[in-house]
Structure 1
Amino acid sequence: MKFGGTSVGDEKCIARVVSILKHHHSTGNELAVVVSAMSGVTDQLHIIAKEAVESLDEPPIETTIHSIRARHKKVLEAVAPGEAETVMQEIDAKLENLRNILTAIHNLRELTPRSKDYIISFGERLSARIVSAALREEGIPSIPLNGCEAGIMTNERHGCANVLPESEQKIKSRVLPLMQEYVPVVMGYMGCTGTGIVTTLGRSGSDYSAAIVGAAIGADEIWIWTDVDGIMTSDPRIIPDARVLPDISYLEAMELSYFGAEVLHPRSIEPAMQKGIPVRVKNTFNPGAGGSCVLSKQHRDKRVVKGITYIDKVSLINITGAQMVGRPGVARAIFGELAANSVNIMMISQASSEANISLVVDDEHLDIAVSALDTVKKGGYIREVTYDRDICAVAVVGVGMAGTPGISGRIFTALGKNEINLMMISQGSSEVNISFIVKENDGIKAVKVLHDEFELSGECEE
């Protein structure tokens, strides 16, 4: 069971988490727990790390540490008064380490990716100790483990590390024996290299941690506890009557999460999918709700489409040139140079004439991508590179789309009737996802139009 930042955000939230765990523990379940940092703490750590390296004056290191300490002390004393003094000593020791590294960064005026990972992992280091103490306070034996102690071994890609295959055996040998006596509480979001250097796993890294641990120990199910009732047909902030999907396939969940659904990260599905372990998404604040279950089984209903989602803060790059036509090596030159510069490509579309290739990248990768393509341009492979920041990507997802005639027609007819202009279309061979690019100010409108077109707010039909 993984609990996100809002689920462990204060003493009331942690008491609720302990209640959930106590209930499932009392029914005979063996549990492993993964926790995120308290909501907002990782953001604080990002900010102070930036200020420590950039500030010409004395950065607010002491103020930040005092704020973090006070918040965790208040929560700890509320949920585990019997252990507060001992655990607070552990927390103070960790905060002293944090103070030292921030001071060193300020003095050196240098923040390396390795140092940044070390700093932003502190939120989980503190929250896991408090959750574990709260369980012990309720008579449930528990032990906190950092990512390295749990056996989560990664490569050296700081900021978004990948878990290595050898992690499975390490986690199995370390976490599984503990579960016979304790409820281990693993610090999410973090792992370590083979030499013990701390790494972080990127956005939604705690979900990834949970999936890795669950797969390694052969869990019956992996439960992701969050602050929504499950995976929904669309973002409820855009579509107030969006509906919870009671079940969804691994592939559909990956496609929805890749294109903006924030409940799960695509990487958190892969380890479970490899082992065929169901992933259940539940609401910590409404534990009685059924939630969503991600399964290998591909369930279809009459509406065909399961969900509509979108991503903003992306950019469209158009690459043109008649010299691209029929010339071997053009794609290799383009994508090789982008890969060499660590540019993440989200969508690709190519005209049948081969004279145009369109790419969608994160906004933060745009400048790097354009610079890399200038190198390709100098090599004579392409003639012109243009780009547009004012766009967003919309995705229509559903296993029922495969082999169902007319879905694309319905999508594009509905958009046309509502005067939404398409700038690029991309469809994978799996036909589970049709995605397209529109102007940024048309993105939310497109989602609403298609959610209505496929009547996704109504109850599920077989």
Structure 2
Amino acid sequence: MRFLMKFGGTSVADAQCIKRVVDILEGYHKAGDEVAVVVSAQRGVTDQLIALAEKLPTAKDCSEVPPLIAHLRERHMATLRGAAPDYVREVEEIIEKRLASLQHILFAIYNLRELTPRSKDYVISYGERLLAPVMGAALRQRGIPSTVFDGCEAGILTTSQHGEATALSRSDEIIKKKIGSLLKKEIPVVMGFMGCTENGIITTLGRSGSDYSASIIGAGIDADEIWIWTDVDGIMTSDPRVINDARVLKSVSYIEVMELSYFGAKVMHPRSIDPAMRKNILVRVKNTFNPSTPGTLIVRNGHRDSRIVKALTYIEKVASININGAQMIGRPGVAKAIFSALADREVNIMMISQGSSEANISLIVDESHLDAAVDALTPLVTDGIVREISHNRDVCAVAVVGAGMAGAAGTGGRIFTALGRAGVNVMIISQGSSEANISFVVRQQDGPRSVRVLHDEFQLSEECN
């Protein structure tokens, strides 16, 4: 078997975690399987880099830079000493060079009083740059040959959209040549989260983009399966912090996991399924700390059981925008004007709902995009295209997901009847053409309660054949 295995930040958080990862990889390597690895930054590192980089352009001084560099040095060196003691001198030199480069760019951001998207991508790629050499050394410590690549060296070519780059199709042939050719003799380690443009400029793939990296590399090497190792037993029927009896799903379809990830499920990156789906590669989500559990299998056509709804999730920190006006009725080009204005300000629209009268369009956007969205839409009022724009931050979006909903009469009625009995007011409703997702918007305080009500209504805690 040929595997691509990706290990997230909690899976590589310290030396003990790294050794646990190597135990897993060693078992498959000795069994004769071919394995490539994608690694994330250690837990919390990327957040620290983002926080400081965003603070520096307006900071009074740059005194926070040296302490962060010292912290990163000590954390990674402690991990290295614990996981690969025979390779301390060799890898320490690499870590020191990378920390020096990181420090220089952080000072430059402070001195220039500017953080460009390009420099931000460069800074936040350092979590993976510091960790991957440690992982490679830990494998060699066990006698397993390993070469370490950054995303660019591995062949991940991307668009130039910094912070949310998309892989180009010709990445496949480069990855196959660079990584696929090594699998019979070693376990290559690839830094997740990053790639580069065709001109060699570093890009990142969005938060949790190491999942996307894994799928890109897995597709490039024609893996039999892509395994996403994390700190939970698999994809669950809902967030266990909200539903204490949430259950691990044995199997879900590509479309179901894409809907879940888009609407806030933390296990997978929203775009990470696409490269695997393109090549029909099985994806499995497993727990590094409980490797004997089978996890959740993600396949093209999920297991259709008697349960209509398979999982629930919700997103906080969103905002609703309501666009009203009788002048919108029957007027061509209104939707184009709205969406073009938002696209020009790079506002991501998460949900859309339009009344049949055409006098109202409701949108859901990330709360961080709200101010830009309102600024972009205000000229439409001045120009008489719409009458009024209002917004509300006190909302959250809930998604009810299940391939079994397609063609199943009465599902929507059952959902909203249950919510009505619980006294939950639904503000906006949206359903995609796939029928695998019914989404709705409620007040923020009603989000967790909505999920609990529907989890009970559809008996998601119970096993089903």
TM, length-normalised to structure 1: 0.98
| Residue number in structure 1 paired with 2:383 | 379
C-alpha separation in 1, matches of 2:426 and 2:348: 22
Gaps in structure 1 of 5+ consecutive residues: none
**Which aligned pairs between 1:303-322 and structure 2 lie closer than 5 A?**
303-322=307-326
**Which aligned pairs between 1:141-220 and structure 2 lie closer than 5 A?**
141-220=145-224
Query: Would you say the 8 A contact 2:62–2:107 is kept in 1?
Result: no
| Residue number in structure 2 paired with 1:48 | 52
1:111 aligned to 2:99? no
C-alpha separation in 1, matches of 2:65 and 2:437: 46
**Which aligned pairs between 1:254-265 and structure 2 lie closer than 5 A?**
254-265=258-269
C-alpha separation in 2, matches of 1:11 and 1:293: 29
Query: Which AA in structure 1 matches 2:155?
Result: G
C-alpha separation in 1, matches of 2:301 and 2:192: 28
2:41 to 32, 37, 43: 37
C-alpha separation in 1, matches of 2:50 and 2:373: 25
1:24 to 16, 24, 28: 28
Query: Would you say the 8 A contact 1:33–1:184 is kept in 2?
Result: yes
1:269 to 234, 252, 273: 273
Query: Which AA in structure 1 matches 2:379?
Result: T
| Residue number in structure 2 paired with 1:242 | 246
| Residue number in structure 2 paired with 1:448 | 452
1:432 aligned to 2:427? no
**Which aligned pairs between 1:392-411 and structure 2 lie closer than 5 A?**
392-411=396-415
1:370 to 368, 371, 374: 374
What are the Cα deviations for residues 94-148 of structure 1, in whole angstroms up to 9, with x where unaligned?
Answer: 1111111111121221111111111110110111100000000000000110011
C-alpha separation in 2, matches of 1:355 and 1:147: 48
**Which aligned pairs between 1:278-317 and structure 2 lie closer than 5 A?**
278-317=282-321
Instruction: Report the secondary structure of 2:352's partner residue.
Output: strand
> In the TM superposition, what is the alpha-carbon distance from 1:209 to its structure 2 partner?
0.2
> In the TM superposition, what is the alpha-carbon distance from 1:258 to its structure 2 partner?
0.7
Overall identity of the aligned pairs, in %? 61
1:252 aligned to 2:256? yes
C-alpha separation in 2, matches of 1:314 and 1:403: 30
> In the TM superposition, what is the alpha-carbon distance from 1:50 to its structure 2 partner?
2.5
> In the TM superposition, what is the alpha-carbon distance from 1:389 to its structure 2 partner?
0.4
| Residue number in structure 2 paired with 1:360 | 364
Query: Which AA in structure 1 matches 2:11?
Result: S
C-alpha separation in 2, matches of 1:336 and 1:160: 19
Query: Which AA in structure 1 matches 2:222?
Result: G
Query: Would you say the 8 A contact 1:52–1:59 is kept in 2?
Result: no
Query: Which AA in structure 2 matches 1:282?
Result: K
C-alpha separation in 2, matches of 1:198 and 1:59: 27
Number of residue-to-residue matches in the alignment = 461
Query: Would you say the 8 A contact 2:38–2:214 is kept in 1?
Result: yes
1:90 to 89, 94, 100: 94
What are the Cα deviations for residues 247-305 of structure 1, in whole angstroms up to 9, with x where unaligned?
Answer: 00000010111111110012000111111001100000000111000001232222210
C-alpha separation in 1, matches of 2:415 and 2:60: 54
> In the TM superposition, what is the alpha-carbon distance from 1:39 to its structure 2 partner?
0.5
